[in-house]
Protein backbone atom coordinates (compact mmCIF):
# COMPACT_ATOMS: atom_id res chain seq x y z
CA UNK A 1 0.00 0.00 0.00
CA UNK A 2 1.41 3.39 -0.95
CA UNK A 3 1.26 6.46 1.23
CA UNK A 4 0.46 9.85 -0.38
CA UNK A 5 3.39 12.27 -0.59
CA UNK A 6 3.87 14.10 2.71
CA UNK A 7 1.60 11.72 4.66
CA UNK A 8 2.85 9.32 7.32
CA UNK A 9 1.85 5.65 7.30
CA UNK A 10 -0.72 4.81 10.02
CA UNK A 11 1.86 2.86 12.06
CA UNK A 12 4.21 5.87 12.16
CA UNK A 13 1.33 8.16 13.13
CA UNK A 14 0.28 5.84 15.95
CA UNK A 15 3.88 5.52 17.15
CA UNK A 16 4.24 9.31 17.19
CA UNK A 17 0.96 9.64 19.09
CA UNK A 18 2.05 7.03 21.64
CA UNK A 19 5.38 8.80 22.16
CA UNK A 20 3.72 12.20 22.52
CA UNK A 21 1.14 10.77 24.89
CA UNK A 22 3.86 9.12 26.98
CA UNK A 23 5.79 12.37 27.25
CA UNK A 24 2.66 14.31 28.15
CA UNK A 25 1.34 11.65 30.55
CA UNK A 26 -1.93 11.28 28.68
CA UNK A 27 -4.72 9.20 30.14
CA UNK A 28 -5.81 8.52 33.67
CA UNK A 29 -3.81 6.72 36.30
CA UNK A 30 -4.63 3.45 37.98
CA UNK A 31 -7.13 3.71 40.78
CA UNK A 32 -6.24 2.86 44.37
CA UNK A 33 -8.13 -0.40 43.99
CA UNK A 34 -5.84 -1.52 41.15
CA UNK A 35 -8.65 -0.91 38.68
CA UNK A 36 -8.53 1.12 35.53
CA UNK A 37 -8.67 4.43 37.33
CA UNK A 38 -10.26 7.36 35.66
CA UNK A 39 -8.62 10.13 37.66
CA UNK A 40 -6.94 11.59 34.56
CA UNK A 41 -8.26 13.12 31.38
CA UNK A 42 -8.84 9.89 29.45
CA UNK A 43 -9.09 6.12 29.59
CA UNK A 44 -6.21 3.98 30.78
CA UNK A 45 -4.68 1.74 28.15
CA UNK A 46 -5.44 -1.92 28.77
CA UNK A 47 -4.03 -5.11 27.39
CA UNK A 48 -4.31 -8.87 27.47
CA UNK A 49 -1.75 -11.03 29.24
CA UNK A 50 -1.16 -14.78 29.20
CA UNK A 51 0.41 -17.14 31.72
CA UNK A 52 1.13 -20.51 30.11
CA UNK A 53 2.00 -23.40 32.41
CA UNK A 54 3.19 -26.85 31.40
CA UNK A 55 3.29 -29.32 34.25
CA UNK A 56 3.21 -33.05 34.58
CA UNK A 57 3.32 -36.10 36.79
CA UNK A 58 4.65 -39.60 36.33
CA UNK A 59 7.84 -40.92 34.84
CA UNK A 60 8.06 -39.84 32.09
CA UNK A 61 5.61 -37.08 32.99
CA UNK A 62 2.28 -36.70 31.20
CA UNK A 63 2.37 -33.04 30.21
CA UNK A 64 -0.67 -30.87 30.90
CA UNK A 65 -0.70 -27.38 29.37
CA UNK A 66 -3.00 -24.62 30.59
CA UNK A 67 -2.97 -20.90 29.92
CA UNK A 68 -4.56 -18.20 32.05
CA UNK A 69 -5.56 -15.32 29.76
CA UNK A 70 -6.69 -12.05 31.35
CA UNK A 71 -7.96 -9.16 29.24
CA UNK A 72 -8.64 -5.55 30.18
CA UNK A 73 -5.67 -5.18 32.54
CA UNK A 74 -3.68 -2.01 33.14
CA UNK A 75 0.12 -1.96 32.97
CA UNK A 76 0.34 -2.21 36.78
CA UNK A 77 -2.07 -5.15 36.83
CA UNK A 78 -0.09 -6.84 34.05
CA UNK A 79 3.09 -6.50 36.12
CA UNK A 80 1.36 -8.05 39.15
CA UNK A 81 -0.02 -10.92 37.08
CA UNK A 82 3.43 -11.54 35.60
CA UNK A 83 4.84 -11.96 39.11
CA UNK A 84 2.14 -14.49 39.94
CA UNK A 85 2.67 -16.68 36.86
CA UNK A 86 3.95 -19.75 38.67
CA UNK A 87 3.11 -23.43 38.62
CA UNK A 88 0.83 -24.36 41.56
CA UNK A 89 2.50 -26.50 44.24
CA UNK A 90 0.14 -29.42 43.57
CA UNK A 91 0.75 -29.47 39.79
CA UNK A 92 3.50 -32.09 39.86
CA UNK A 93 6.82 -31.70 38.11
CA UNK A 94 7.48 -28.15 36.91
CA UNK A 95 8.28 -28.22 33.24
CA UNK A 96 7.72 -24.64 32.11
CA UNK A 97 5.98 -21.39 32.96
CA UNK A 98 5.84 -18.45 30.59
CA UNK A 99 4.30 -14.99 30.93
CA UNK A 100 3.63 -12.82 27.89
CA UNK A 101 1.59 -9.85 26.71
CA UNK A 102 -1.07 -11.05 24.29
CA UNK A 103 -3.44 -13.95 23.87
CA UNK A 104 -2.85 -17.56 24.83
CA UNK A 105 -1.95 -19.82 21.94
CA UNK A 106 -4.92 -21.28 20.08
CA UNK A 107 -2.91 -24.30 18.83
CA UNK A 108 -4.31 -27.63 20.13
CA UNK A 109 -6.87 -25.76 22.26
CA UNK A 110 -9.69 -27.89 23.71
CA UNK A 111 -11.71 -25.21 25.53
CA UNK A 112 -11.66 -22.96 28.55
CA UNK A 113 -13.44 -21.63 31.63
CA UNK A 114 -14.27 -17.89 31.59
CA UNK A 115 -14.90 -15.55 34.51
CA UNK A 116 -16.11 -11.94 34.17
CA UNK A 117 -14.36 -10.27 37.11
CA UNK A 118 -15.88 -7.47 39.21
CA UNK A 119 -13.06 -5.11 38.18
CA UNK A 120 -14.07 -5.38 34.51
CA UNK A 121 -11.33 -7.79 33.49
CA UNK A 122 -12.12 -11.14 31.91
CA UNK A 123 -10.11 -14.25 32.78
CA UNK A 124 -10.18 -17.48 30.80
CA UNK A 125 -8.26 -20.60 31.76
CA UNK A 126 -7.59 -22.48 28.53
CA UNK A 127 -6.93 -26.22 28.39
CA UNK A 128 -4.94 -27.93 25.62
CA UNK A 129 -5.02 -31.39 24.06
CA UNK A 130 -2.79 -33.74 26.05
CA UNK A 131 -4.33 -36.94 24.73
CA UNK A 132 -6.46 -37.40 27.86
CA UNK A 133 -8.53 -34.24 28.33
CA UNK A 134 -11.63 -33.66 26.20
CA UNK A 135 -14.04 -30.81 25.63
CA UNK A 136 -16.53 -32.61 27.91
CA UNK A 137 -13.88 -32.79 30.65
CA UNK A 138 -13.21 -29.05 30.41
CA UNK A 139 -16.94 -28.29 30.41
CA UNK A 140 -17.35 -30.38 33.59
CA UNK A 141 -14.44 -28.51 35.24
CA UNK A 142 -16.08 -25.19 34.39
CA UNK A 143 -19.46 -26.35 35.75
CA UNK A 144 -17.81 -27.51 38.98
CA UNK A 145 -16.12 -24.12 39.40
CA UNK A 146 -19.27 -22.16 38.50
CA UNK A 147 -17.54 -20.67 35.45
CA UNK A 148 -18.66 -20.34 31.82
CA UNK A 149 -17.40 -22.98 29.39
CA UNK A 150 -15.88 -21.55 26.19
CA UNK A 151 -15.50 -23.97 23.28
CA UNK A 152 -12.49 -23.64 21.00
More confident residue, 32 or 49: 49
Alpha carbon distance 96, 105 (integer Å): 15
Instruction: Calculate what percentage of the chain has a pLDDT beyond 90.
Output: 45
Name the band, by pLDDT with cuts 50, 70 and 90, for residue 45.
confident
> pLDDT digits over 122-144, tens only?
999 999 998 889 999 999 999 99
Instruction: Mention every residue, 6+ apart, whose C-beta is less than 8 A from residue 17.
Output: none
Q: Give the residue among 29, 34, 39 at the shortest CA–CA distance from 120.
A: 34
Chain mean pLDDT for the chain? 74
Amino acid sequence: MSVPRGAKPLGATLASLALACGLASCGGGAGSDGGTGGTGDGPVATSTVACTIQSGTGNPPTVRTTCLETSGVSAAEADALGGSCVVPADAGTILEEDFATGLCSRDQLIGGCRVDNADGTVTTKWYYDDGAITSDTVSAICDQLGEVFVAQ
